[in-house]
Structure 1
Amino acid sequence: MEKSRISRRGMLKGAAAAVLALDGSVSAVSSAAAVEQLPLVQKTPVIGSKNVTGQKVEGSVAKVYFSPVIDAASLIKLYNLVNEEIYGKVAIKLHTGEPHGPNILPRDMVQALQKTIPNSTIVETNTLYGGGRENTADHRKTLEINGWSFCPVDIMDEHGDVNLPVRDGFHLKEVAMGKGIVDYDSMLVLTHFKGHAMGGFGGSMKNIAIGCASGQVGKRQVHGASMTGAPNFGAMPVKDT
């Protein structure tokens, strides 16, 4: 699990998120007894960490916690280990999925965690590709179908975009994010591992970056697509999953 933070002034002051990674093909022990018997927390060693940029960078090594148990109790325990900088109005960013899933996190786990976080809201943005989340009206229907109705859900680009700077950006100096992102003080990110057509695994960086970019502007910018859908630099698909 990692953590991140967003200021009301629209500057992203943190660089990661709180994460629970799930793989639907793995069967996890979920009894209360198992939670107590198995070691819940393990701090990963920093041996072998290497700066490959060739530049002197400021910052600290992230603390990563692992739980062999995937259930609501373990998720809450992990959150309590990393939440010292979670404050104020909290955005819970997750992938709410296309109608009927199946690639979504267990709703009961998310609901149990959300109940423990005061002033928290699930946040999403519309998609660039066609489907059940391409526009706000259809997105609201999909949220209801998939059971994301136990707390408020803010579709952050429902009322437009906000341009946020990209520090030392190569292709982009700023990206259009869902306008609602600046309404939150903190962000908690729940991410499931998944494959991606471009190779590799989608994770929390993607969940924050593409997941918070506005559907019709920011996502086109990040994918290198023009407003007509034509790629600007390379044969890059515009589909966002």
Structure 2
Amino acid sequence: MLKRRQVLLAAGASISGLPFPAFAQTAGSSLKGTPIENTKLTHLTDLRDAPFVFYTPKVDPQAVLDIFKAVGLPVQGKVGLKVVFGNNRDRAKMIDPDLLKPIADELRATLIESNYMDSARSDATTHISTAKELGYDRVAPIDILDADKEIVIPVRNGYHLKEFITGSHLANYDTLVSIVRFKGHNLQRYGGSMKNLSICLGTARGACQIHSAAEVTDYYRPSSSKETSESMADAVSAALDYKKGRWVFINIIDALKPIDGCSGTVDRPDLGIVASTDPVAADRAALDIVYGLTSDPELRKEWEREHSVDVLDYAEKKRARFQELPPTENRLIKAVFCLKLRRHDIE
């Protein structure tokens, strides 16, 4: 598979007077003047069938809305912004509610989330109260997906899961936007689009289902790291199938102090935002940006092992299981991505 540091050259379109997308001929020239101009983007490619990932070096509320518009998914019906509220203990790691306000207003969206095993998020009443304490009620209405009941959605050709448990309210949404604060060095498993669409989209029982590789749903029982990654890939495929072609994935890579103790990590500034209709491509790009900060390939491999980046490999292998289906049906993910830039941000 090609991994040349080159992106496609094309003309830009215009949205609200801003040029979208803007391409440059090579990654080196296109990224000049951005926080990642010297970053090694291992999975950047010029393969024309690779998913597009949009990147902006800005991290502010308007940039979140602008990058969603750049992706170009037509907005239909009721819009849900899938976020993770977290709790007061983890407040410093969670997404800033202010970053969500313009996109929520523009799309007339609802913030959606599922209950979890955490006592601050274990039922809808407590969960909404926690979200309000953290300021998310200032952004948009809040909907806990499993406030009424759960549903099971099918998993095709799963590693372990035959179905995935999520909240019944997911059926009510026609356009879905996953927005996360990307965490490369803050969790045992990195936190990005894949996690938001699996462990964090599932109900508490769905999360138990993933952690145990479908062995139990009523209590937390960890399986092996490999089995958990495979189960996450199963859940992501189920969510994508359930709302086919209706997702956008936004990873906000802002300043976040590493707290995992990984060797070689340093405090980093805001690095930008990436977005795609492909969750694996979005996470690949974000991981390339964060882990590409090291010039030591062995250290990068150590970081990737430590934070279970293998979930992306299992998702790619799972996509290959659908080869009997037409190409438009089997493109769950690709291992590489093409990059599109917001030129007006860097000129």
- The aligned counterpart of 1:193 is 182
Kept in 2: contact 1:163–1:174 (CA 8 A): yes
- 1:126 and 1:61 map into 2 onto residues whose CA distance is 34
Mapped pair 1:137 → 2:125 = yes
Q: Is the 8 A contact 1:125 1:156 kept in 2?
A: yes
Query: Given the alignment, which residue of 68, 92, 103 partners 2:93?
Result: 103
Query: Which one-letter code corresponds to 1:231 in the other structure?
Result: R
Deviations 1:61-110 (A, max 9, x none): 21111111111222221111114333111110011121261222221120
**Corresponding position of 2:334:** none
* Structure (1 or 2) with the greater helix fraction: 2
Contact 2:208 2:218 (8 Å CA) reproduced: no
2:141 aligns to what?
Answer: 152
Counterpart Cα distance in 2 of 1:109 and 1:178: 25
Question: Counterparts in 2 of 1:40-119, with a 5 A limit?
Answer: 47=45, 60-99=49-88, 101-118=91-108
- Alpha carbons 2:206, 2:217 under 8 Å: kept: no
User: Residue deviations 1:181-235, cap 9 Å, x none?
Assistant: 1111111011111146544x221011011111012x2111111162453637448
Could you list the structure 1 runs, at least 4 aligned residues long, displaced by more than 2 angstroms after superposition: 39-49, 83-86, 195-199, 225-237
Distance 1:114 1:152 in 2: 9
TM-aligned CA distance change 1:107 to 1:173, over 3 Å: same
1:214 pairs with 2:203: yes
* Consecutive unaligned residues in structure 1, runs of 5 or more: 1-35, 50-58
- Say whether the 8 Å CA contact 2:164–2:202 is kept in structure 1: yes
What is the CA-CA distance between 1:171 and the residue it aligns to? 0.5
Q: Which has the larger radius of gyration?
A: 2
CA deviations on 1:107-162 (whole Å, 9 max, x unpaired) are: 112012211113x111001112x331122222121011001113211100111111
Query: Identity over the aligned pairs, expressed in percent?
Result: 24
**Cα shift at 1:60:** 4.5
Are the equivalent residues in 2 in contact too, given 1:143–1:149 (CA < 8 A)? yes
**Equivalent-residue separation in structure 1 for 2:222 and 2:73 (angstroms):** 42
Task: Show structure 2 runs of 5+ residues with no match.
Answer: 1-17, 28-42, 229-347
Aligned-partner Cα distance in 2 for 1:69–1:40: 15
Matched, 1:121 2:110: yes
SS at match of 2:93: coil
Structure 1 vs Structure 2 CA RMSD: 2.9
- Mean Cα displacement is larger for which, 92-101 or 167-176? 92-101
Over 3 Å counting, the alpha-carbon distance change for 1:196 and 1:161 in structure 2 is farther
TM-score w.r.t. the length of structure 2 is 0.48
What amino acid maps onto 2:149 in structure 1?
G
